[in-house]
Amino acid sequence: MSKLREAHGARFIDPQDCGSSVRWIIDCEGHESGVWLSASVSLTDCDRRISWDFSGNARLTERLAKIDGAIAELCAFRNELLKAHREAAAYVPPPRAEKPEEAPKPARSFDL
């Protein structure tokens, strides 16, 4: 066996909160029978985790499309969140309508 490539990374996204993180690892080994690729990425937020396993040698195009799709949607979400934040910061509520004064009640007439 020979190690062809080994790479890993990790980053805390929000360390002040609950330790959200992104972690990834890639391990590529050459064997007499061929090459084995082991790759995974994990997104963690408090007690929730999304893990994607990309191990094996097939379907690289599909795997890259999955990653690219996730990145594109996260970027779209980021842009819309920024727009919403700007709109919220610029929002001026309309003046409150004052209660309309009550019309005077008609005097009661009594039949004598």
The pTM of the full predicted model, rounded to 2 decimals, is 0.66
Contact 37, 6 (CB under 8 A): no
Name the E strands within 15-98: 20-31, 34-45, 48-53
- Please write the tens of the pLDDT for every residue from 1-39: 899 999 999 998 877 767 789 999 999 999 988 888 899
**pLDDT at residue 105 greater than cutoff 80:** no
Return the pLDDT at 112.
46
Q: Where residue 108 falls among pLDDT bands split at 50, 70, 90?
A: low
Q: How many CA atoms lie within 13 A of 108 on its CB side?
A: 3
